[in-house]
Amino acid sequence: MKSSTRNPNPNPDTPRFGPSKLMVAFRFLRALTLVHRTAPNSSNAARSRRIQRAAFASMAYSAGPRRAWSRALLWRLHFHRARRLCAGRSRAAGVPRRPSTTRSPADELRRLVPGGTGMDYCSLLEETADYIRCLSEQVKLMQSVVDSGGPRGR
Amino acid sequence: MSSRRSRSRQSSSGRITDQQIDDLMSKLQSLLHEARLGSHDRASAAKVLQDTCSYIRSLHREVDDLSERLSELLDAAGVSSDQAACIRSLFM
């Protein structure tokens, strides 16, 4: 063990909140480049689904195994990838898309947070807070890529 | 799967106190408040959970939305120069 701190970020100046922003950005942009290179002629919808998976993947990989939600996401992504390769269907992984019926709010939350269904209430609340933080950072990252990546560039 | 049941019985690391749950609820509420979705007052647990669910759903929708836009951008142009610009902008 190198140190007792849990900050994987080698740059000490970057503010510390969970996975390093730079790590997430790097992974996501790398995935975007891959999508661009490997599927130039695919449909917009298929590409969009791949990008969405890449977004959740880079979130989850950067958070690593320290969080239940990231472990659940990683498992789900790998599982769906294996299914896709076998069945030839493409399906967006990592995002539950079920219509909400009458459920208790806690159960609803369990369905929204990856890995939530197996958790006790206390862990659910903790994981939710972390998941929300990482998810909103991911949204900000994607927004900044969109803002800086117009067709004419800046 | 009742949340009330799991609150009193299950615990992975010792007894879960109401105080612990209260603290976690406040943390969630402050996250929601930062996103301008929650209220300052101490809302009921059910309300906080509901707001949290809506917030997560809206974040998922934003990811979907942004994925579509990124997909269109990828279609229109290469990514490499945008990558550099984006990384630069993240540092500033």
Alpha-carbon distance of A124 to A133, in angstroms, equals 14
SS3 A115: coil
SS3 A129: helix
pLDDT in tens, B72-90: 887 776 555 556 666 666 6
How far does chain B reach from its first CA to its final CA, in angstroms?
47
pLDDT of residue A148: 81
Which region among A18-32, A54-68, A85-99 has the lowest average model confidence (pLDDT)?
A85-99
pLDDT of residue A152: 40
- Contact by Cβ (8 Å): A129, B27: yes
pLDDT of residue A34: 84
Q: How confident is the model at residue A83 (pLDDT cuts 50, 70, 90)?
A: confident
Q: Give the C-alpha distances (Å, rounded to integers) separating A67 from A93, B22, B30.
A: 18, 21, 21
Average pLDDT, chain A: 78
CB contact under 8 A, A153 and B3: no
- List all residues of chain B from 21 to 80 with a beta carbon under 8 Å from chain A: 21, 24-25, 27-28, 31, 35, 46, 49-50, 52-53, 55-57, 59-60, 62-64, 66-80
- A46-67: buried (b, 16+ CB within 10 Å) or exposed (e) per residue? ebbbbbbbbbbbbbbbbbeeeb
* CB of B84 less than 8 A from some CB of A: no
Alpha-carbon distance of A77 to A61, in angstroms, equals 11
Side-chain-side CA neighbours of B78 within 13 Å: the count stands at 3
Q: Which residue of A has its CA nearest to B24?
A: A125
Model's pTM, two decimal places?
Answer: 0.72
pLDDT in tens, A85-94: 776 544 455 5
- List all residues of chain A from 132 to 151 with a beta carbon under 8 Å from chain B: 132-133, 135-136, 138-139, 141-146, 148-151
Side-chain-side CA neighbours of B36 within 13 Å: the count stands at 0
Q: Which of A57, A61, A66, A69 lies closest to A116 in space, CA to CA?
A: A69
Interface mutation vs chain B, best among A28, A34, A58, A125, most B CBs within 10 Å? A125
Spans in chain B with pLDDT lower than 50: 1, 5-11
